[in-house]
């Protein structure tokens, strides 16, 4: 865990930031990550079905049954 923490802290330069800046960045990253995960679970299945129907239409020239 320590090695992973040090990698993240050095990659994103958290060691140079003040505590309030670290909290702000982690909050922004967390919200963005939550939105991406929500989008994947909520909209990806619908999009995959739509892509399957469109690819069937383009490959065989008719709507799939």
In this prediction, residue 65 carries a pLDDT of 60
| Total count of domains within the chain | 1
Q: Is 62 within the bounds of a domain?
A: yes
Nearest to 25 by CA among 11, 41, 40, 14: 14
Q: Is 46 within the bounds of a domain?
A: yes
Render each residue's pLDDT in the chain as its tens digit; 65 residues.
999 989 988 888 888 999 999 999 999 999 999 999 999 999 999 999 999 989 989 998 877 66
In this prediction, residue 18 carries a pLDDT of 93
- Residues 48, 49, 54, 56, CA torsion sign: positive
Q: Is 1 within the bounds of a domain?
A: no
**To 5 degrees, how large is the angle CA 36–CA 28–CA 41?**
15
In this prediction, residue 1 carries a pLDDT of 93
Domain that holds residue 52: 34-65
- The pTM is what? 0.63
In this prediction, residue 64 carries a pLDDT of 60
Q: Is 6 within the bounds of a domain?
A: no
- Could you tell me if 25 and 17 are in contact, meaning their C-beta atoms sit under 8 angstroms apart? yes
């Amino acid at each position: 865990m320590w090695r992973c923490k040090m990698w993240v802290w050095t990659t994103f330069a958290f060691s140079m930031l003040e505590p309030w800046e670290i909290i702000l960045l982690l909050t922004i990253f967390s919200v963005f990550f939550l939105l991406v995960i929500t989008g994947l679970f909520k909209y990806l299945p619908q999009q995959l079905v739509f892509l399957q129907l469109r690819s069937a239409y383009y490959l065989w020239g008719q709507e799939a049954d």
